[in-house]
């Protein structure tokens, strides 16, 4: 199966970083997700209960980032991936987590991970 559900550019304000000043302010993070999902079932039923609820996924990712307050993007990415695989039964996902403005000469810095198998 190669079907996917996408969430692109999910913006979350959260505490993240290793420097003292970063632990005192919220910073904007951008999340892109591609998640394996058999879209044939919801397509056939036309029932939202058969679909991957991208609004609920977005809410869980946002809540995790706000609550976790990780120091590293790597830690945040791994936490999100584990949470989504466990709570939504995702076999595979690709996640990109960006921190805009972290390096003045770059639009953003970030990490990209894939977990599971398609």
What are the residue numbers of the active site?
A: 99
Q: Crossing angle, helix 73-88 and helix 54-68, to 10 degrees?
A: 140
Q: Put residue 35 in one of left, alpha, beta given phi > 0 → left and psi -120 to 50 → alpha.
A: beta
Q: Which 3 state secondary structure label does DSSP give 80?
A: helix
Q: Which residues pair with 35 in a beta bridge?
A: 5, 93
């Amino acid at each position: 199966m190669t079907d996917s559900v996408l969430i692109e550019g999910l913006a979350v304000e959260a505490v993240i970083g290793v420097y003292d000043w970063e632990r005192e302010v919220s910073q904007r993070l951008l999340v892109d997700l591609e998640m394996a999902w058999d879209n044939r079932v919801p397509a056939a039923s036309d029932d939202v209960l058969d679909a991957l609820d991208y609004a609920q996924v977005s809410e869980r990712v946002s809540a995790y980032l706000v609550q976790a307050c990780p120091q590293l993007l790597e830690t945040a990415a791994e936490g999100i991936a584990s949470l989504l695989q466990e709570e939504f039964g995702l076999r595979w996902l690709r996640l990109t987590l960006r921190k805009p403005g972290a390096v003045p000469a770059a639009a953003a810095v970030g990490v990209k991970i894939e977990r599971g198998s398609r």
